[in-house]
Amino acid sequence: MDRKKLTIFLVLFAVLGINLLLGLPRLSRFSAVDEPYWTFARIPKFWTAVAAQKWRSTNINDKPGITSAIITGPGLWAIDPLTIKSGLSDPKTQDMAAQVYKVYSSFRLPNYLFTLVGLLLLFFFIRKLLGDRTALIATILIGLSPIILGMSLIINPDSLLWIFVGLSLLSYFIHYKNEEIAAPKEKFELDIPEFLKQKKYILLAGVFLGLALLTKYVANVVFVYFFLLIFLRYIFEKKENESADGYFKKTLLDFFLVILMSAITFGLLFPATWVSPQMILGGTILSAAFKSVWPIFAAVIVLVLLDAIFLKSIVLRYPLDFLARHKNLLVRLGGVIFLLVIIFVLINTWTGMKIYDFQNILSSPKSGKSFVTDPSRLSRDFFSDFWALFFGLTPLAYLALIFSVGKNTLRKNLSQESNYILYLFLFMAIYYLGSAVDGVADMVRYQIALYPLAMIMAAIGIDQIVAWFENGKYKLIAKSYVVYPAIILISAWSLFSVRPFYFTYASGLLPQKYILNLKGVGDGSWEAAQYLNALPNAQNLIIWTDKGAVCETFVGKCITGFKTKDLQGVNFDYFVASTDRGNRSMAMGSVLKSHYDFDRLYSPDGGDFKIIFDGRPNNFVKVMSAASIAKK
C-alpha cells in the first residue's frame, strides 16, 4: 500500500472509529420525539404491506419516508414492535421497558450504519470532484460533526436526506467537470454503452435525487436548482468552441435525464406507485411543494428548448454572453453577498439580536404564513436560517467557511473552486426561499442537508491554507501527518464536549445565553426516565412530562399533554420539564398551572435531577417532585 492510500485508509479509519465509539453506545440509550410513529407504526406497516402484496398500503407518510422504512427494515428481524405497541404510557415492568430499548436499538443500527456508508460515498464523490486532500478534510468535518452524528442516530427521514441530496449535487458537478465536447456526427447514432459511460454521473444524479425524493419531498428544490445551473454554467463554464444552441440542447437533455432517472428510482422503490402510477408525478415534479410554480417552470423549459431548436438560442445567447463577459464580477458579487450575510448574522447575534430574534423565530418554525402573504417573513426567515446553519458548524468549520468564501471571492485569479462556492451558496439560498414559500423557517433538523455542503466549502478553504504553507517556509505544517491529526483532534473535541447529547450542539462562537436548537429531538428524556425508574416503588409513580419520549421507557404511569380529562383529579408525584417545550407549556397548561408553579418548573434553577446541555444553563431537562412546586 503506497503512502497516499495508507493516509486515506488511516484518516477514514480514525473518523469512522471515533464516530462508532460515540454513536454505538447511544443507540439503546436515547428516547426521541416522533420516533414511535416510525418504529411502532410506519415501518412495520410498510413491510407488512409488502409481505401481503398490498402495494397501496406502502404509502405510509406524506414525507414519504420510504428510504427510512427500507433501510431500517432489518430491525424487524430482531423484534416485532407491534407486539409491545400498546401501553407505552402505561405502567410497565423493567422487562417491558427493556423491550422498548431493543426496538429502538434494532431499528437505529441499520439506519446509523447506512449513514456511515453514505459518509464514505460522499468522500469518494468529493475526491472525484476536488481531490484527495479536500475530500479527506471534508469527510473529517462531516463525520465528526455533532449535528450530523446526532441526526444519524435518529430514525427520521432527515437522518438520510443529507446523504442523498449531497450525492446528487456532487454527481451533477462531477459530470460537467469530466465532460468533453464530442465532435458532431454526420448522422445520429445511439451507442448505448458509450452513452451510459458519458452520462453515468448525470444518471447517478437522477438516482440519488430519486432516493432523496423518496426520503423527503423538500428534495424537489433540487429540480429548480439543476435547471438554474444550466444558465449559471453557461455564464461561468461554457467552452468557447461550444455553440449556444448546442450547449442548451445538451444540458436540457441532461436535465431531462435527471428527471427521468429520479422518477424511475422513485417508482421502482415505492410499491404504492405500482398500482397508482400518478403518485410518481405527485412525488416528484408535481409534488405539493412544487405544484404552484410548476406551470411557470415548465413554460420556461419549453421556451428555452424552442429557442435552442428553432432560433439557435439567439434569445438567451446575448444576455447570457453579456453576463459571461462579466463573470468574475458576478462571482465576486455572490461571494460578497455571502460574506455580508455572515457579517450581519454575527453582528446581530453578538449585539443581542436587536434586529431579528433568530432564536425566537426558529422556536416556532411553522407559522403557516408564507412570504407571499407576509412579505416581512422573507428577510427574517432567510437570516434566521443562516444563523442555524452557521452556529451548527464547529468553530473550525465555521471559520474555515468564512476564510473560504473570502479567499475565493477576493483572489486575483478566480478558480473552479470559486464557482463551486457560488453554486453551493445559491443552493442554500434557493432551499431557504422554497421553505419561505411554504411558510417554514429552517431550524437545524429541517436544513440538515445543507450542513455537509457548508463543510465542503470549509474544506476548500482549509485545503488552500495547507497549500499556502506547502509552498512557503513552513512546509512541516502542511505535512499529512500534521494536518489530518490536527483537524481530527479539533473536530473530535467538539463531539466529546457535548456527548452524548450531540444534537443539542451549538458552536462555542454562539453566546452562551442562546440556544441554537430550541426544537429538540428528545435529548435527556431517556436519562430522566432512568432517574425515575431508580426511585423506590417507581411502577406506582404518576408523572407529567412535556415530552412523550420520557414515557416510552418510564415504568410508571406517564401523562403528557393538557387535556382536562387526562389531568383532572390526578395526584402527580413528579414533573419532567424541558427548555424547548417551555413556551408551549406556559401557553397551554392552564389546568396544571392552577395547581402547580410552572414558573419554577421551567426556571433553570432547582430540580431533583437535571441535565444541562452543551454547557448552557438555560438549556435543560429536569425532574421536580410535584410537592416542591405545588401551590399552597
Confidence of residue 451 (pLDDT cuts 50, 70, 90): very high
| Bridge partners of residue 544, in order along the sequence | 559, 575
For residues 388 and 207, give the distance between their C-alpha atoms in angstroms, rounded to a whole number: 29
Residues belonging to the chain: 632
| Bridge partners of residue 578, in order along the sequence | 621
Helical residues (DSSP H) of 540-606, grouped into ranges:
564-567, 582-588, 590-593, 598-601
pLDDT score recorded for residue 183: 47
- 415501518: which residue's cell? 43
Which amino acid, 337? I
Mean pLDDT of the 604-631 span:
90
Domain extents in the chain: 3-111, 112-504, 525-629
Check pLDDT > 60 for residue 182: no
For residues 222 and 428, give the distance between their C-alpha atoms in angstroms, rounded to a whole number: 11
Q: What angle do CA 422, 428, 432 make, to 5 degrees?
A: 145
SS3 of the chain: helix, strand, coil, percent, to 5: 65, 5, 30
Q: What angle do CA 626, 630, 632 make, to 5 degrees?
A: 155
Lowest mean pLDDT among 116-120, 455-459, 607-611: 607-611
Nearest to 111 by CA among 10, 215, 207: 215
Helical residues (DSSP H) of 276-357, grouped into ranges:
278-283, 294-310, 314-325, 327-350
Q: Are 43 and 107 in contact (CB under 8 A)?
A: yes
Mean pLDDT of the 585-603 span:
84
Check pLDDT > 70 for residue 292: no
pLDDT score recorded for residue 469: 85
Check pLDDT > 70 for residue 186: no
Residue 2, all three cell numbers: 503506497
Looking at per-residue confidence, does 569 or 156 come out higher? 156
> Is the entire prediction scored with pTM above 0.95?
no
Mean pLDDT of the 603-632 span:
90
Reported as a single tens digit per residue, the pLDDT across 394-423 is: 999 999 999 999 888 877 777 888 889 999
Confidence of residue 564 (pLDDT cuts 50, 70, 90): confident
pLDDT averaged over the chain? 87
CA gyration radius, the chain: 26
Check pLDDT > 70 for residue 534: yes
